[in-house]
Structure 1
Amino acid sequence: MTSTSTTRTVAFFGATGGVANAILVHTLLSGHRAVALARTPSKLRDQLTSQGLDAATIDGNLTIVPGNALDVASVKKTLLASSPSADGGDDFPTHIVTGLGGTPSLTFDWCHPGHIATLDNPTICETAAKTLVTALREIHAERSLRTSQKPLLVFVSTTGISRGVEDVPFAMRFFYHQALAIPHVDKRKMEDVYRSEMEKGEGEGVFRNVVGIRPTLLSGSVDYKDAKGLEGLKVGTESKPALGFNVKRADVGHWVYENVISPNGTGKWEGEMVSLTS
């Protein structure tokens, strides 16, 4: 089910990351409203101004809430921070975008010598997912939201953790699964939290629907203009994944905006785990 409104209100978690940041920029430049939870609001604002967004666009369309995405109270405050709608009612987010992830570092384990990448917080994605679901359940209990009022969730995940067909090219498969095994455990558990909500019966889950985004290895900076263009992007699903080696963060963010957030989107990708590569 797609939202019938032409104006979106999008809640962002992890908006200082490259993919979610690009989605946020396109959302703001298209005139939609956004609210973002950020541990350091000045960092997010600086990122936006460095990409050419003016103060009028930022101040007029974006609310930045200081806080932590692992804290239920902060997440609830973000979800309820939208400006009043034109008719004077509450303007609950039509969409939620989460692009949270830990800070990677190198490690070595004699028992698992191939597991060379770890995270500063190895459970951040799973914990944030559970926190978001808990916050929404509390809000739903307080407000009794209809299914049509529930938000569409877009979460940024990764290739290499598919429940279905292998989505990593053969040439890099062994290294990819070994080197990224620790971060992938967290991403898989995050997906399980969100997909379990999607798989519940009609009206039982906290989301209207879910779209999982699985990019290949991400490249490029936190700048929506650091892109190759959507015409070179390959798109797949869990049952028929797109295989490739890398993709620009800005291209992933642009694709998500145009195909999932934008009122021009058809709803085609709702309920899918979408693989993206160049």
Structure 2
Amino acid sequence: MATKKTILFLGATGGVGLSALRRSLAAGHTCIALCRTPANLTAQLNTTTTSNSNTTTLPPNLHIITGNAHNPSDLHACLTHPSTAPSGGVDIIVSSIGARPTLRGMSDAHVCEKGMEVLLGALRAVKEERVGGKVPRLVAVSSTGISEVARDVPILLAGLYKVLLHTPHVDKKKMERLVVAAGGKGEVEWTLVRGSFYTSGSATEGLVRVGVEDPVKGVREKEAVGYTISREDVGKWMFEECLDKEGREWVGKAAILTY
């Protein structure tokens, strides 16, 4: 039986984060979700509403904190939430924040970079307060098309990625570099999850292929090149491989997920 963990979700209202959150709640893990608008999350969860009121019944192992992932005090509140006391802190952090496309471009061209800078700063502050505290596991959702080691998208899409996804990919690259640098300092144990082009399909069985890259050594250990992957399948893989079980084989690795 998997050890019950305390997991912090940043970006839980998005498809990937929501998929992993649902499964983590069902497995009995304590989950903390930071949301700017909690109603956006509760509306997507399988909740029940009483006939006599508008009160929504949430899972008892879910703690929603209203706030912004770019606000240091909000991150600090998540990392020191009372629910973390039994285990001495958050065990795992899932970061799946990202910008939304608009008619003028991305809603925030630096959303992932800024979010990671604030998160890592908050982790350092908490570590100073709790001398000798645990080193958390960080699972950061990234994207294919940004590898500096080898091509991980079909050649037919490579040029299109560079044109249409240049801005978000620059942001993801900067985020990844911050994560790897923090790992080198012993601040986090990390796993990068790079999905191919994200779709809104349902989860599948046996269709997901997984490639492996070591960004530190600059080595592609296993190739997996494909066109698409559903957000639901990415969240499912994250839960099964990195959240519910220890997943030590993924520490310090970038997992490439595709069909």
TM-score by length of 1: 0.83
Is the CA contact (8 Å cut-off) linking 1:165 and 1:241 kept in structure 2?
A: no
The answer to whether structure 1 residue 227 and structure 2 residue 197 are counterparts is no
Structure 2 runs not aligned, ≥5 long: 49-55, 214-219
- Cα deviation 1:58-86 (Å, max 9, x = unaligned): 3310000000000000011011114265x
The answer to whether structure 1 residue 244 and structure 2 residue 241 are counterparts is no
Task: Tell me the CA shift for residue 178 of structure 1.
Answer: 1.6
The answer to whether structure 1 residue 268 and structure 2 residue 249 are counterparts is yes
Structure 1 runs not aligned, ≥5 long: 108-117
Question: How far, CA to CA, are the matches of 1:63 and 1:185 in structure 2?
Answer: 33
Give RMSD over aligned pairs: 2.1
Task: Tell me the CA shift for residue 242 of structure 1.
Answer: 1.1
What letter matches 1:70 in structure 2? H
Match of 1:97 in 2: 94
Match of 2:237 in 1: 255
What letter matches 1:251 in structure 2? D
1:197 pairs, out of 178, 182, 188, with: 182
For this pair of structures, how many residues does the alignment match? Answer: 246
Match of 1:112 in 2: none
SS in 2 for 1:153: strand
Is the CA contact (8 Å cut-off) linking 2:6 and 2:87 kept in structure 1?
A: no
TM-score by length of 2: 0.89
- Cα deviation 1:127-175 (Å, max 9, x = unaligned): 00000000010001111134xx121000000001112111111111111
Task: Tell me the CA shift for residue 199 of structure 1.
Answer: 2.1
Is the CA contact (8 Å cut-off) linking 1:216 and 1:276 kept in structure 2?
A: yes
Match of 1:110 in 2: none
- Of Structure 1 and Structure 2, the greater strand share is in 2
Question: How far, CA to CA, are the matches of 1:119 and 1:63 in structure 2?
Answer: 30
Match of 2:192 in 1: 212
Taking only the aligned residue pairs, the percentage that are identical comes to 34
Is the CA contact (8 Å cut-off) linking 1:20 and 1:253 kept in structure 2?
A: yes
Task: Tell me the CA shift for residue 267 of structure 1.
Answer: 1.3
Task: Tell me the CA shift for residue 241 of structure 1.
Answer: 3.3
Question: How far, CA to CA, are the matches of 1:91 and 1:60 in structure 2?
Answer: 20
Show structure 1 runs of 4+ deviating over 2 A. Answer: none
1:1-278 aligned at under 5 Å gives the runs: 6-49=3-46, 58-83=58-83, 89=86, 91-107=88-104, 118-146=105-133, 149-200=134-185, 205-207=186-188, 209-220=189-200, 226-229=202-205, 231-238=206-213, 239=220, 240-263=222-245, 265-278=246-259
Is the CA contact (8 Å cut-off) linking 1:34 and 1:62 kept in structure 2?
A: yes
Change (3 A) 1:5 1:22: closer
Question: How far, CA to CA, are the matches of 2:208 and 2:18 in structure 1?
Answer: 19
